[in-house]
Amino acid sequence: PPPPQYVGRPFKLPGNTSTFYTDQPIIPGGSFTWGEATRNASRLPETETIVNNIIGLARALQPVRDRLNRPFQITSWYRPPAINAAVGGAIYSQHLYGKAADIQVQGLSGRQVANAVMLTWPGGVGIYSDIPNIIHLDIGPKRTWGF
């Protein structure tokens, strides 16, 4: 069969010679796209390590999305340092490394999602008291906050 035809915005990633597209899945057969991870290619990773971290987080998030069987809206994934500072992110935020995503799951609060993933999620799980419909999931050290 011919390769998939993507219609999203084209861009390049460090460590890769091929062109990527914002509507292209991060992992084959996955539902998270490069557009979600890069804010529609406006936040491109500077290093191959960050690219690999984004892929790793997509691999960890996909089973959660599959199990919850609900639409996910990514509100923030990879953040370059200037963006992270502008939004008041933690100085060592996992978003800086492509290892974190803030997510809204249709029909569920952040706490409900946290309760559903807490026992199996390998990294950080955070909920925000001021934005209760968002959950932070990362593949950094295992920890929780906001509970």
- pLDDT tens digits for 45-58? 999 999 999 999 99
Provide the strand spans (E) within 1-147.
Answer: 10-11, 20-21, 72-76, 100-105, 124-128, 131-138, 143-145
Domains of the chain, first to last: 10-145 (3.30.1380.10)
Place of tokens 């502008």: 86
pLDDT digits (tens, 9 = 90+) for 96-127: 999 999 999 999 999 999 999 999 999 999 99
Per-residue pLDDT at 2 exceeds 90: no
Pairing of strands 143-145, 10-11: unpaired
Q: Please give the mean pLDDT across all residues of the chain.
A: 96
Please state, in angstroms and rounded to a whole number, the distance separating the CA atoms of residues 53 and 109.
26
In the prediction, which pLDDT does 129 show?
87
Instruction: Kindly report the number of other CB atoms within 10 A of residue 136's CB atom.
Output: 24
